[in-house]
Amino acid sequence: MSTSLRPVPVVSVALCTHNGARHLGEQLRSILAQTRVPDEIVISDDASTDGTIELARAVLAESTIAVSLTVISNTVALGVTGNFEQAVRACRGDIIVLSDQDDVWHRDRVAIALTAFDADPDLLFLHSNAQLVDETGRPIGYSLFAALQISRRELRWVRSGRAGFGSTPARTSPADEGPRRRRTGCGAARIRSRASPN
């Protein structure tokens, strides 16, 4: 009887910041407290002037968890899309989990994503809902999906695997119905190839 062992995926977090010192420490601590700690955190900072980068380095330095940290400091702001693109391109992982500076993750967020990717080798993108909170972390009464006015029909399509980006399969996380103490949506992607475009 032969058993094939799948390689353990390298997990990267692409975390984008811009003057995020107010919330970043809490988010970094929630990443470091994951039941499956990521192997690397890539921070792409969009020209912060509030000590965001110094705070990030201090939080990781005080941690007993060994996580590789890459910091990219933009002297000129790229904007949200350009900043995330830069962060994702710098990640070395097989699985890349997206993070905003003001997110706070449940302890099993990375583990749930890895379980979904492991269960479906064709799955390339995964996202989950988020519970929106105020500045103090208290729920404001609705989720990200509600704020984006995503219909039940659209959610059924996503859950069934019929929705996605072109031919890229996408599904919601099994934890969609649970609370997410975050202000923004989240996503994770499986990287199939590291080949550079010409």
pLDDT of residue 166: 42
Q: Are 147 and 129 in contact, with CB atoms under 8 Å apart?
A: no
Q: Which residues are CB-neighbours of 106 under 8 A, at least 6 positions away?
A: 175, 178, 179, 180, 181
CATH code of 11-190, in short, is 3.90.550.10
pLDDT at 141: 87
d(CA 100, CA 134): 15
Instruction: Please work out, in degrees rounded to the nearest 5, the angle formed at the alpha carbon of residue 108 by the alpha carbons of 104 and 109.
Output: 55
**pLDDT tens, residue order, the chain (198 aa):** 545 677 889 999 999 999 999 999 999 999 999 999 999 999 999 999 999 999 999 999 999 999 999 999 999 999 999 999 999 999 999 999 999 998 888 899 999 889 988 988 888 888 778 888 887 778 888 888 888 888 888 777 777 766 554 443 444 444 443 333 343 345 666 654 444 333
- Distance CA(180)–CA(81), nearest Å, equals 23
Pull the structure tokens for residue 128.
């989950």
d(C-alpha 101, C-alpha 182), whole Å: 10
CA–CA dist 67, 131 (Å, integer)? 27
Per-domain boundaries in the chain: 11-190
CA distance 124 to 163: 12
CA 128, 131, 133: angle at the middle one, nearest 5? 145
Query: Is 0.85 surpassed by the pTM of this model?
Result: no
Report helix, strand or coil for 141.
strand
